[in-house]
Structure 1
Amino acid sequence: MSERGQEQLGHGSGSTGGTGSTVRLGCPPLELKAPVAISTDFYPSSARRGWPATLFPPSVTPLIRKVVRCSVRRLRSDSISLAVHMSPVISLPPSPCLTILYAPWLLLDRSFSAEPSSFFPLEPSPKSIPKLNRASASCPLLPSKMAPMILDSPLPEVVSNSTPICSDASVVPPETASKRIKDLWWLHGHPHSKRYSNPKLVSLAALVRHNGVVYRGEKGFLYPQSSEASTPYDSMTWDRFDRVTDALAFSYAHQLEAEIREANISREQPTIALLGGGKSLEYFCTELALQKLGALAVITDFKNSGVDTNGVRKLPMIEVLPAAADSQHSAIDAVKFQDFGDVWERHTFIIHSSGSTGMPKPIVHTNKSMMLIARMYRLFQEFSVENWFLLFPLYHIAGISIALSGLPNGQILSFPPLAWPPSSSSIFTAWKTLLAMGHPVDIVHCAPTLIENMYEYISENGGDFSPLIELQLLQPGGAALSDYIVKALTARGVNVKTTYGSTEIGPPFRSIPHTRDNPKCYSFRNLYPDNPHLKMEEVGEGLYECVVYKGFELAAQLWESSDDPYRTNDLFIQDPPGSGFFVMQGRKDDILVHSNGENTTAGPLQLDIQTSSKIISRALALGHSKPCVSLLVEVHGDFDPESDTTQKQIWETVEQINLRYPGHSQIMQHMICVLRKGQTLPVTPKGNVKRKEAELLYSAEINQLYSDSTSPFQLSISPSEALTEHLRSLLSSISKTPSQDIHDWTSLYDLGIDSRLALCIRSSLSTYLKRPVSLSTIFENPSISKLVSALLLTPPSSPGLGPSREKISVREIVGPIISRLEAEFKSWPTRPANIHTIYPDTGKETVLLTGASGSLGTSLIANLSSYPQVEKIYAMVRGPNHLAKLRKSFDARGMDSSILVEGGKVEVVNFSMQDPLLGLDLEKYIELASRVTIVVQNAWKMDFNLGVEGFEGDCLRNTMSLLRFCQAARPKRLAFTSSISTCMGSGHTSPTVAEEPIGVDPNAALSTGYAQSKYIVERITQTATRILQIPIHLLRIGQLAGSTRTGHWNTSEMWPILFATSLHPSFSSIPTFLSKSVDWIPVDIAAATITDILLTKNLDSESKYEVHNIVNPHPIPWSSLIHMLQSQRKDLQEIPMGTWVKRLNTFLESGMNADELPGLRLLQFFEGMAGDESESKVFKTGKTQKISASLRGCEAFCEDWLRGNLRVWGESGFLK
């Protein structure tokens, strides 16, 4: 039997196999009589240029005979209409019985709600079709004497979990596991049993119907409403999912009436090819609807499609998911393909795994394999997976496995952003949305490219890795994640583990245990140690190959009649020997698995290049764990390798060969290295290039090809061209799109730019700008206009771009936001002239406080509540259980929570930043508007990954809502807790900062979105005072230190992390800052200062605008702080910040993690500090000291305060 390849779920290879390998399906391919293809994600023709001219491999292509086209209407962010006509790529022979259906590019208007008749615009409603009666006897599609499949859904059978699962206790839950985990493992019987304990659960269709009853009303799916980055998420319950898939199945049954009738007569299962992007809920609903029809679904990437659509009939396609008020089980059973054999063994999906040629290869799965993969996929020993976030396409074995894994136990699947590939910021925004809904993401399984982008994005935007740390598990899959990234993430506390498996054999190995203290991501253990059909067979000294025998339940239909084992070609060592832990070493063949999950077979590619040119002697294709293929070329001795003629002819040869290969295997011109005269590729006695030796010998040349400074794509670009036109020319060249069709707003994704081509863009821009440009910058700004703005925000080293570009760019971003917000003030009504008569001053204050549960918020509550003139405090807290949440926050900080009693001075109320009514119902809003006298805006997100636009929808919008609230009913003052970062940018050139309103140059603020958003509020509040006469207390707050009363200082902040790292016994060194001063103010003193300001009516009139700098008025040099620390740790050394960071890197490389050394969490941030030795600014506090006795009495930061912080950190275990 010929070897067949695989598509890795975890480490190692992608799809492989020998050239011309035989494809063995569960039944002869040409006997699958009625295939239908449904395409769910259409793209404009410009996005399809360069796609491989292949729909399916030879074993599948002859099955498809007719194609159906339809018009495409975009239903999301824009309301254009377009008709898509695919260019003829391959012509298929005519046949009367086979059909392909194409559905629209964007299927679902998620806000659409309609009667069933709206779902089929060109056909009557199913309810109006008498021949599709619910009574099977009247249905013309149903052959006589056929009973519909029994799919009733009883409650799951309870099975005793006292039976041992397997002989290896390390791969099953321990005795101490929670009841929830144990129940999940045993819900459908013994976890390694060959069937579900409920005898009626024999198919995916049955499982969907079962869930519709058992989990009625429970959420099963969370999905984005639109393609906007900040879109809300909707939910779908299990019973609605059952009804929706019923309605889809019923509709397809009607449209394919003749094909299903013929299939039932011939007793040959119909085949339907589903072509699409595979990322949406609609796609998944269609997959399961086809299972309800009893069809075999061919699921494949849309990039593998390309068929002649001329001269074919047209059928209407479903454009929105139906409301589906009632289940249609009996009606579907009457019209579906009937079951003639064991439903458990019936084919479900053909999943494409790319083989040795890089072309799609069909792998047939059954109900058995899919049901058993689904049952085991979410079963982890240490935790339960309540919400899995999908980041693999649903035509990939990992994607469909993840999606199906929620079915057995009724757990949630969350869908990714609709824009694909998703940017890191859109992914993190989606996770925050899901967290706010009460469904935090537990696990993410995705391609290494996405993880690398996330790492790069976080590192470049503040270094906050908490989104990844908070995951139960981060799983790279489809290719290997680089060792550097694995170590860096693990050191920061991210739990990185993965799975080994393939399209052919399922996922039978995992990196065990899944705990954070296990740093080994790619050390695998067999989850089925007692299964005789899954073996690690020794094939050499210390080398093992994963081999699967007929009978392994998770495997696809790999065996027709032969019982020959399926050999994966993946080689492992057992490390340590005899331990049962296997580490992958590589493959028998030379597959290049790229970092984006694609794979290229190097052998045929190299051979094609060598035999197509008289110039080329030998060639070596490279690119394992890299985003694209590169090429080393050795020329024959008769040719000059450095001549323009030779290099031109080599490129012409490669260009011709590229046409034979898919896009991810094509070689770009700047990724070719022609070896110099005298340089040769090392070969074996048989003339084969020694890959490993060549990679070592020419490592410098290879690294140069993939470096940031590599020469750009060969374009005729004048140095005088503007960056915009440079980008347009570049995109035109690499996407083969006319430059006039590329607008400033055109999405790079629409041009087909993937990680491979993004590397080319990065290289060209790095050369053009004479500075590094990261891939993250490109992915986060996927259009010319966004890229130009992003690139020019960072001061370039090239003088040709001009010194004022940074300021212009910042103004262009911040200015329109300010103008837009200030324009709203003009539409607000003015206050009545007799407002003070209506609401006389009572001498008492009622305070509305946002951000009440934070460090400063809790201290403000404690201070304000102690004053008799404060009559009431409304503490606004987001989320459910407001009072309990605030009490927990008090207790965690060692504060007295007894002031938080029902009916007391402090009333905890609901809060929403996006709601104009602040999250209150109208009655409560009116009550508070009539009572509140002071509003303290203290709610702001600490997200340094976002640009300023990311603060518009919540923080800035909430501030506008609070200003509007200040105008409603009783007159109010607004106190805004700003930040000293609004005055620490390049535009604020003075060494001192007065207590005065901010100026009009937005460059005064630091370049983070956080600082710029606070700057915007400083500007618009000036306007609010001038136009609306709202009194403003602008509070510029500096670095808050721990409380002098309790010693608590948040251990997630930068300075505590730096101290804990410096004082670690193994580290014992503190960085020096020559020009830094410490003006930190303890949080309790800052809160007392703000209280003094609020309760001192210093505003002469309602038009008064007061600015207060709240920092310690007695700064000390950094050296004094070092002496305080040295008094606690005598062996603490002083070293430069750069040396301190290098030492931190050394600990990272040694394998130490962030739990042991917390500074590793902020390594990138500290690296940035090492390059910033700017002098500290002095913030004047004289005006505030006159008002506040608390600030006047504030001492310089002292050893007693520091000792209290160290004590608390030591008690908590934060300080070693």
Structure 2
Amino acid sequence: MLSPTVLVDRLAVDKPNDVWVKSPVTSFQGGTGWEDITFSLLKNAVDATSDFIVRQLGPGEPDEVLAYMGINDVRYPFVILGALKAGYKPLCPSPRNSKEGNLALLKTTKCSKFLCSEEFFPPIAKLSPSMPGLQVVQVPTVDELLMPFTPTSTTTPTGRVSFADHETIIILHTSGTTGLPKPIHIKAGVFSTFETITSIPTPPGRTSTHCSLLLTRLVLSVTPFFHIFGINFLLRSLHYQKPIVLLPADKPPTAELILECIIKTKPSALASAPSMIEDVCRLPAGLSVLSTLDFVFYGGAPLAEACGNQISEVTSLYNGIGSTEAFFMPTLLLKDPKDWQYFEWNPEAGVVLEPTEENPNLAEAVIKRRPDGKYQFAFWNFPELQEWRTHDLFEEHPTKKGLWKFVGRLDDIIVLSNGEKVNPVAFEKVIDGHPWVQGALMIGVGHFQAGLLIEPSKDHQGDDKEEFIDKIWPLIEEANAEYPAYARVWRSTVMLAKPEKPFKRASKGSMMRRATYKLYEAEIEKLYKAQEMAVEESDAAGQSNADVQELVRKAIRSVLGSRAAKLTDDANIFQLGADSLQALQLSRILTSSRLKCNAKTVYDNPTVSQLAKAVSAPEKDQHPENAVSREERMSAMIYRHSRFPKLASPPSPPKSPPAAFNVLLIGSTGSLGSYLLKELLDTPEISQIYCLNRSVNARERQQKSFDDRSLGSIPPSQVQFFTGETSAPNFGLEFPHDFASLQQQTDIIIMNAWPVNFNSPLEAFEPVIAGTKQCADFSSASPRKPHIVFISSIASILNWATVRHIPEDGSEIVIGEDWDPDNSLPAKQGYGESKHVAASILSNALNAGHINSVAVLRVGQLAGAAEKSGVWNRQEWLPSLLKTSTTTLHLPSSLPSPIDWVPTDLAARAVVDLALSSYHRSTTTVQTFNIVNPHMVPWSFLVPGIQEFYSPTRKIETVPYADWVEELKRISPTATDQQIQQMPALKLLDFFEGLNEAAAASTGGEEGKQVEVRFATGHAVAKSKAMAGLGGINGRMMRKWMEEWAF
């Protein structure tokens, strides 16, 4: 590669009077002006600088490093080029580095010579005591270096003519957001590639984004030269001879200064970090001035959506992405200006989007080496690699395939104490869009709920906190609406940054997340140690019913956030979107006001009116005689969704099964769903499989799930994926012909999509219950009258022992495999009730002749996989029990019921067996199967192995199950976030209490002994080879699961 200094020498001869840079006039008085620096002046300054370096420090030895730090003026290019000419490798530390960061860079690069401008001489000189031998020299002023200079043969070096592509030409560094900055050696090959990047091939009719940036007439660059973004514009000015405009370096860069510069110098484009562009947008004349530009280019961080939308209305808005390591990743100009937030990569970039394990809807951009790699900058810097993992996360456009929006970094992810993961970037950018906000930082790492730290803009740093939050609250509500419940920010977790402690920011203006966390560590901990996320303290004892109702209403509004807009005193909060975490939060708020309330109280009384009465009434009055029974609630819901008009003709008789079945699998991406899909693929009788899921990138998510479980590849020829949900008309499919095609082709429907939440009330499940009716209608309208296989639960029949009689002789209770419509049979929880209601709707559809056959599979406890890979979900009750026991060092010596679990992979095999064997076997009755393990073992059989497994690090003692639950009940009222993280069973306390109550209910017979309850499986065993071959849970399986959990 031709040396940049030789290029400068040639330009000074070929184009001496062409403008290189429009630079601020340093001696201008009473305002700001700009003067042209030509290529001949640039050569003069580079020669003067290299001569100065040699006279002060001597010529550079091979690979010797020379550092420079200064204000962001033309001396940066002068020193970078002058150092190369003097034989050095220039190192450009950021002025924002800490002392430790600079020392680390100097030591790592073996740099003992440091140039700096006057402003940085004192702090750089202070490095000398920590680094003996460090030479610190102050460089001349801009005016002095631009003075006419005559080279001498003794001190003015001529420099190298060329560099090999693998040689280091400049050293930059990482931002140091996760520790000390690390040097990045930029190779000459990067500069060579830059020289040819405008020739990069593009698809027909498309244009490269960077061609526009590199070839436009004049760019106002608000980018620092010590950053790769600034180096980009230095190279642009030399290789493409397109000038840039610089802001005055002796003044802070402000939005007002940018506008003045645009008006006076008339550039064709602005290139800046997003924070400055957002400031410009807030000025009254900002958008008007920006409209005079051909385009605005930003990079380094996301731009606030409100600001971007405004700019895209008045001029073109281009988005760039890159890094010090990978320079930039070539992209294409987008077809629709409204898509300005998205990237479409040029195929030459080799960018592949790989779904993440934590959230399959997000993907990491990975640069894969192409055969020639001609336009892939990263592999010049890292020639030994075949791929470069950017750690940048993206989300695909909901409707435009191939367009990806940056949503954060892998290391941005916030992990809450309950194990939920939150990507904070999109939330923060919404808040950043408010003119009163300088910056927003989501907090909550290791805590129960997310919070928000806001840095007010300079004009509002002294504002009253409550008034400030009132002003921005609508934006917080807007952001909350796009996030799941566990990630929403409540008012009580919003805090303001202190003026004396501004957010830590990297050189490109982006927030340094971890450094800012550290800066506010004490304040954040104090926030969470206070009454956690509660509304203002109130003592409700002795208040009137109206006051209590107002308090409850206020508490519910604070928990629901933006969804409270639809709240009425009789609205069910779970139908408005509340979940178990919010139920727990609400109970905490009311408890802090001296009202007796736990999460179960909220589940049982899910409206403002009901909850106010429940928490204010004496305990004996909390269950009034005229309350609607749960059986009546189930009956009403069954009726609402069972309105099947009578058919003119009777149902078709059972027909012979087809030679090969087409299966619609509803809910394929979860644990059981993944194993079901694998079993269907491995079953010769299955032809085509249609997977219906809510996620838009289900195929990628499914393949990731397969990869995690070592299940192989998904053949596109046999499996089709559709995005939708059964509760929506036409299953919510985008194209009507897809729905019609499914109706024409489907032979079997496997209904496997159901929310698993043992705390939610029946009403919270109504959307999926409505979807059950839609599935019946789908089957009714299909010419093939597809067989419906409903994945139910033993929870739908778990109250059987209470409702039916207990044998007086103390013999075991056997729950059979017959369909029973009795509404008192489900467990007293919304989940089991919802499964019973759905099965009842299907039974009514069958009786009305709308569908030809139904199989209800009551699935028991699914364990981890026995034969295949895949971690048993750590959030479920057994992993939660064990995790909690490793903290309390107390393990239940027994469980209320024997172990009749079925490994998930084997359960999937049984489901497919039964789906085929029950196909159109009956048109009059619901076929029912119990998928539980026929070979029960007592919990005590597994306990010694559990104790032995954990014995190297902790001694766990056994206690009676009732005592174990009582210990949790003692801890629960005052549990901290950290305790909940270490003892996740606290979140399932109602569930564990329910197991105890169920065991007590099955006490009878002789001397009140507990009667063993088991499930009949003869029908399932007879129809399924997998069920027939199932063995009991053993110590080997248990050890496998514990190793996978790694508690």
- Normalising to structure 1: TM-score of the pair? 0.43
Higher helix share: 2
Task: Using CA pairs under 8 Å that are at least 6 residues apart, name the structure with larger relative contact order, 1 or 2.
Answer: 1
- Normalising to structure 2: TM-score of the pair? 0.49
